[in-house]
A and B are shown apart, each in its own frame.
Chain A
Amino acid sequence: METKKLIAPRDGLLLLGLLLLASILFLVLGNRPQGAAAIVERDGEILCRQELSALAAPMELEFEGEGGHRATLRISPEGGCFLASTCPDQTCVRTGVISRAGETALCLPARLVLRLEGAAGEADAETY
């Protein structure tokens, strides 16, 4: 392994390709509109669906996830986030507020997903 090069000219191609791929994806995903509806799923099954425009004020919801974990979600007219969770890794809470269509916050231990959907009729909303 000592004889291996640190970096080879070929790597440049790999890096360029990856950079291009990531920037295309960022451009496609970054331009998406504000989310229109918040959807909460557990194990892929929809627990709750809330149109954001129908909200006058932020609301907080508590969900029971897998493994006895409970999570508190906050859904506001601008988006949503995990406020708190009893899971050990807290990745869901650190994700912060999501606001664009297609964005996702998830709690793996509890198998809970909060995702935002675009307005109905926008074909982009479900494209990843």
Chain B
Amino acid sequence: MKNSRDRGGAAVFTKQKVARVAFTGILGALALSLSFLESLLPPLPMLPPGAKLGLSNIAAMYAAGSMGLPCALFLAVLKGGFAFLGRGLAAGAMSLSGGLLSTLAACFLLRRTRCSLMGVGVSGALTHNAAQLGTAWLLTSQAVLSYVPGLILFGTLTGLLTGLALKLVLPPLKKLGTGLGVWL
């Protein structure tokens, strides 16, 4: 968006806006389909209940890094809304709290620091877990804290994985975005 004023008139600006909306929609669809895909995986024993890979964090981190905070927050709200519609209030609150906090963390780390991508992935996963744990605490009781060690360990592993995946999908996503006409 920084360049939007230098590059021409209102028509170009509108086109750029449309391209950004379209690309945000694609990233949203990507986040939703990734989270659907991972829900098909069988739950693994020994893991904290409800622990997931957090694949949709890949789309959220990409949005935070390349499109900016508003777009990334929109993805988190969209995903929370779908969880609410599909699986009820508790799931919606869990998804929304985790999504918002991890998006804020990813946006800060990607845009304001020189943190590596795996560092961002791990921080994103752990802040996601922390926010969800806080929500679960509010919804039930302090008893949920017994999941903390498992969540730290599993969150670190999945964070490394999503950080690596982010690195791998950066070129194709950028190509897709520029193809749509988004100035990334």
In the complex, are the beta carbons of B140 and A44 less than 8 A apart?
Answer: yes
A109 and B83 CA atoms in complex are apart in Å by 12
In the complex, are the beta carbons of B49 and A92 less than 8 A apart?
Answer: yes
A10 and B118 CA atoms in complex are apart in Å by 11
CB within 8 Å for A109 and B116 given contacts A22-B152, A95-B49: no
Q: Does B163 contact A (CB under 8 A)?
A: yes
A-B pairs with CB below 8 Å: how many? Answer: 125
Q: Does B102 contact A (CB under 8 A)?
A: no
CB within 8 Å for A109 and B88 given contacts A1-B65, A29-B149: yes
CB within 8 Å for A106 and B143 given contacts A10-B116, A88-B88: yes
In the complex, are the beta carbons of A8 and B144 less than 8 A apart?
Answer: no
B-contact 0/1 string along A58-100, CB 8 Å cutoff: 0000000001000000000000000000011101101110000
A115 and B114 CA atoms in complex are apart in Å by 43
B-contact 0/1 string along A86-128, CB 8 Å cutoff: 0111011011100000111110110111010000000000001
CB within 8 Å for A109 and B45 given contacts A26-B149, A41-B140: no
In the complex, are the beta carbons of A4 and B139 less than 8 A apart?
Answer: no
Interface size class of B (residues with CB under 8 A): 35 or more
Cβ contacts under 8 Å, A109 to chain B: 87-91
Interface of chain B, main secondary structure:
helix
Q: Does B94 contact A (CB under 8 A)?
A: yes
Chain A residues bordering chain B, tally (CB within 8 A): 42
B-contact 0/1 string along A1-17, CB 8 Å cutoff: 11011111011001100
CB within 8 Å for A108 and B94 given contacts A1-B66, A6-B118, A14-B119: yes
Q: Does A48 contact B (CB under 8 A)?
A: no
Q: Does B8 contact A (CB under 8 A)?
A: no
Residues 13 to 35 of chain A near chain B (Cβ within 8 Å): 14-15, 18-19, 21-22, 25-26, 29
A25 and B156 CA atoms in complex are apart in Å by 15
